[in-house]
Chain A
Amino acid sequence: MPPTYWSQLLPSGFQKISLELSKVTKVYPGVVALQDVDLSISGGEIVGLIGENGAGKSTLMKVLGGTVSPDGGDIHIDGQHRSALSPAEAGSLGIAFVHQELNPFSNLDVTANVLLGREITSGPLRLLDKRAMEAKVAPILQLLGTRFGPADPVSGLSLADQQLLEIARALSMNARLVILDEPTSSLTLSETERLLSVMRQLRSRGVAVLFISHRLSEVEDVADRVVCLRDGRNAGDLTGSQICKDAMVRMMIGRDVHQFYEKTAHGVATPILSLRGVRTSTFPAASVDLDLHAGEILGVAGLVGAGRTELARAIFGVDALSEGMIRLNGTELKSHSVPEAISAGLSLVPENRKEQGLLLDFPITGNISLPCLKLLSRLGVVDRERETALAKDSQARLAIKTSSVFQTAAELSGGNQQKVVLAKWLATNPKVIIFDEPTRGIDVGAKAEVYHLLQALAREGVGILMISSDMEEVIGVSDRVAVMRRGHVTGILNSDELTEENILRLAVG
């Protein structure tokens, strides 16, 4: 990378940031999000911020971004004391965010997104000066090595590219501290590598990077220092060679995790779900044949965009099936609608639990009862006692952490939300459950619980189809793994053939 780009980016007066939070406290109704949390970071280092979901990472980030003002504690930036920041102050101090959920303006082009709110204008009418704007954005993109240019539309960018777009935006603001919130959770391996190398470049130029991630191997890879939060408090720091996965897991959950993945050999009997010549509308050229047996966990691996989610949606009847036969528990699905799939004994725990899995504003009771309301009602009238009883049973069975089953789903942590999604399907007594990224964005402790539940379900004879981009998870949990590429199943690996290398070979092809 030619150094001129950096010198353009970093103005001569660039001063490394030095930021220190001490005893920061933030309380929400019913929840202590942060209690006496300390964190320091300065220019030229990458600090990993880890912790289970609900540990307070997001709140701490919002304090830095100025969108949440703490109820107590001090903030020192470049030696100056403040009790709180406003978003505008955070911006002018050079604190920039790359959020977990990216929301670029897909109706605007790359340049407009990068410079949104800081457009360059010219002339008495203050018209947009497109040329000057693109001239400012182009070197930043070059620096980041993006495959897209300043005039490209944002609507076509992949998730990984959108992330680079956010980083470009941060750099265009002369960021001194870049905060990345779970940036790699939906990236492929090579995209992740690229992002990590961008982070290292930022560090070498004196920018401070705060990296929040559940992917501990990446944290281990890239961080100089690790700060761990647990239940809204500091749970320890690690520096340099101390940083290893085991140590981080220990800090996060406060205990040793011995057997993270438990695996029991499941009896492979008759197929409970069979796909023959199934074609989805996204990949009409690819025809899928697949058998899932009762009591089996069949992993579905592949790169992002390999057609795994599309296949799941088509099986479940959310999207139209262009062709093919689906047989579930001996009966052929005819109408390919969700109600038919559910009554045949199929469930889908979708990829995006906040948009597709749950009604966030509904209470836990209403979420769990929704697919089986008819069973809980007489003459169309809901029996609310049975509904509450079902929710309480589920809460006990899945250990859902909540003060009351009448709390809304929005108030739960990611892991507990996922349990509510699972609970609502278990109430329909499914024969086959499709999990699409079952542990995305949930913390280590909750992950272990989800794996435990998967195994328990399989032991009860439920067939499980588990789509996952987490290689370790696929290998650790599955009995067999089907690998997909561009809509095709390129291979099925048995348990003795399950290695990262084998999966990648089939996924990349």
Chain B
Amino acid sequence: MQKKDIGLALLVLAVGSVVALINPRFLSPINLANTANLIGLFGLFSLAEAFVIVTAGIELSVGSLIALLGVLFVDLIVVQGVPWPIAALIVLACGAIFGTIHGWLITRLQLQPFIVTLCGLLIYRGVARFYTKDGTAGFSFGDDFPVLEWLISGRTGGVPHSIIAFSIIAVIAWFVLHRTVFGRHLFAVGKNEEAARFTGINTRRVIVLAYVICAVLTGLSAIFFAMYTRSIHPASHGNFYELYAIAAAVLGGFSLRGGEGSVVGVVLGVILLQVLQNLVNLLGIPSSLNFAVMGSVILIGVIADTQITKHRNSRRQAAALATIKGATPQPQSLPE
């Protein structure tokens, strides 16, 4: 675990303790389970976004994809009568296709990721609304998919399956990003694409794969959201989720310049954002202030991070100066 992650973990604990002190209901099993469920749901696509951000890219179509793929999933199983496992595979495959297209446009046609995925954001949202004739796609009263519902929105021993899925995928993502050759290549490409190319890394393939992974995970997230909300209003379903994902990644130490960040950080970022949301609800803060609270905490977090780094460097320098000036080396006041 990196130092940054520890700081963030402490912040999560601090905010959690404050909320728990003020309103003990925070720790009630119902509230914890609900919060955990939301962490799982929002965590899936935040992890997805991290894969793209680490390559110095950005994926803005996450929210729209969740709407479009969600609508598609519901339509397939409810209207077209496709068995749900096949429908799920189709949704994931569509995600893979969209991701490939994004990656192809970015690496082959050299378009900027921001522009490509901004267009995706607009296109997928529009298509989703057209697909349902701007109506709501959902399950009607009689529809019954017991296995699917248990699997996606059920609980085991009170633990929502969404957070179990999120945990499994976070562990896999951690392994992929921090322990595999592919993960190393992602960081290398994000840090300096030219040097990566000179080292024999197929940078185009790495970048395309990042977008594919992102879109497939977003597809998975779309299924979870479809089963969670049970009815999808394509004009608003998943709105702003991409910004939420970017916020979680940035809180977790990812740099938008690429090549930096850790999965532990994103996970903590997601948890912090959900705890804040919960704080707004439990402390009776008007819910209209929701985004304002989130924005302020992110801003404070980022400022604190840069200031701490600065302080640490200047302290190191002072210690170095003391040693060459012949004085007895000052004992380090705090472990670095």
The chain A residue sitting closest to B312, CB to CB, is A29
Are A35 and B324 touching (Cβ within 8 A)? yes
B287 CB within 8 Å of chain A: no
CB contacts (< 8 Å) of A424 on chain B: these are 199
Are A338 and B197 touching (Cβ within 8 A)? yes
A493 CB within 8 Å of chain B: no
CB distance from A364 to the nearest CB of B (A): 14
Return the CB mask of A338-350 against B: 1 if under 8 Å, else 0: 1101100000101
Chain B interface size, under 10 / 10 to 19 / 20 to 34 / 35 or more: 20 to 34
CB distance from A453 to the nearest CB of B (A): 20
Instruction: Select B195's contact among A341, A357, A373, A382, beta carbons within 8 Å.
Output: A357
CB contacts (< 8 Å) of A355 on chain B: these are 192, 194-195
Instruction: Select B181's contact among A316, A337, A339, A373, beta carbons within 8 Å.
Output: A373
CB distance from B190 to the nearest CB of A (A): 10
A481 CB within 8 Å of chain B: no
Are A29 and B313 touching (Cβ within 8 A)? yes
CB contacts (< 8 Å) of B191 on chain A: these are 359, 361-362
The chain B residue sitting closest to A316, CB to CB, is B198
Are B181 and A380 touching (Cβ within 8 A)? yes
The chain A residue sitting closest to B324, CB to CB, is A32
Are B184 and A373 touching (Cβ within 8 A)? yes
Rounded to whole angstroms, the CA-CA distance of A380 and B177 in the bound complex is 11
**With A362-B188, A362-B191 in contact, do A350 and B324 touch (Cβ < 8 Å)?**
no
User: A-side binding surface: helix, strand, loop or mixed?
Assistant: mixed
The chain A residue sitting closest to B179, CB to CB, is A381
Rounded to whole angstroms, the CA-CA distance of A410 and B182 in the bound complex is 23
**With A377-B181, A380-B180, A382-B180 in contact, do A371 and B321 touch (Cβ < 8 Å)?**
no
CB contacts (< 8 Å) of B195 on chain A: these are 355-359
Return the CB mask of A259-298 against B: 1 if under 8 Å, else 0: 0000000000000000000000000000000000000000
A31 CB within 8 Å of chain B: yes
CB contacts (< 8 Å) of A71 on chain B: these are 321
A27 CB within 8 Å of chain B: yes
Interface residues of A in 362-376 (CB under 8 A from B): 362, 366, 370-371, 373-374
Are A370 and B192 touching (Cβ within 8 A)? no
Are A27 and B324 touching (Cβ within 8 A)? yes
B95 CB within 8 Å of chain A: no
Are B199 and A370 touching (Cβ within 8 A)? yes
The chain A residue sitting closest to B175, CB to CB, is A381
Rounded to whole angstroms, the CA-CA distance of A226 and B295 in the bound complex is 57
Which of B175, B191, B321 has most chain A Cβ within 10 Å?
B321
Rounded to whole angstroms, the CA-CA distance of A318 and B195 in the bound complex is 11
CB contacts (< 8 Å) of A37 on chain B: these are none
A30 CB within 8 Å of chain B: yes
Interface residues of B in 255-295 (CB under 8 A from A): 259-260
Are B324 and A374 touching (Cβ within 8 A)? no
B158 CB within 8 Å of chain A: no
Instruction: Select A382's contact among B179, B192, B319, beta carbons within 8 Å.
Output: B179
CB contacts (< 8 Å) of A377 on chain B: these are 180-181
B200 CB within 8 Å of chain A: yes
Rounded to whole angstroms, the CA-CA distance of A338 and B202 in the bound complex is 8
Are B184 and A371 touching (Cβ within 8 A)? no
B112 CB within 8 Å of chain A: no
A360 CB within 8 Å of chain B: yes
The chain B residue sitting closest to A352, CB to CB, is B194
Instruction: Select B184's contact among A28, A318, A356, A370, beta carbons within 8 Å.
Output: A370
Which of A30, A341, A348, A373 has most chain B Cβ within 10 Å?
A373
**With A362-B188, A370-B188 in contact, do A29 and B180 touch (Cβ < 8 Å)?**
no
B25 CB within 8 Å of chain A: no
CB contacts (< 8 Å) of B316 on chain A: these are 29-30
The chain B residue sitting closest to A425, CB to CB, is B199
CB contacts (< 8 Å) of A366 on chain B: these are 184, 188
The chain B residue sitting closest to A376, CB to CB, is B181
Are A339 and B317 touching (Cβ within 8 A)? no
Rounded to whole angstroms, the CA-CA distance of A13 and B241 in the bound complex is 65
CB contacts (< 8 Å) of A357 on chain B: these are 195, 198
CB contacts (< 8 Å) of B200 on chain A: these are 338-339, 341-342, 371
B196 CB within 8 Å of chain A: yes
CB contacts (< 8 Å) of A316 on chain B: these are 198
Are A318 and B197 touching (Cβ within 8 A)? yes
CB contacts (< 8 Å) of A358 on chain B: these are 195
CB contacts (< 8 Å) of A360 on chain B: these are 192
CB contacts (< 8 Å) of B169 on chain A: these are none
B101 CB within 8 Å of chain A: no
Of the A-B pairs whose beta carbons lie under 8 Å apart in the complex, a sample of 5, sorted by A's number, is: A27-B324, A338-B200, A341-B200, A359-B188, A380-B181
The 6 closest A-B pairs by CB, nearest first: A29-B316, A342-B200, A27-B321, A338-B200, A373-B181, A356-B198
Interface contacts beyond A27-B321, A29-B313, A424-B199: sample of 7 additional A-B pairs, CB < 8 Å, sorted by A: A316-B198, A359-B196, A370-B188, A370-B199, A373-B181, A373-B184, A380-B182
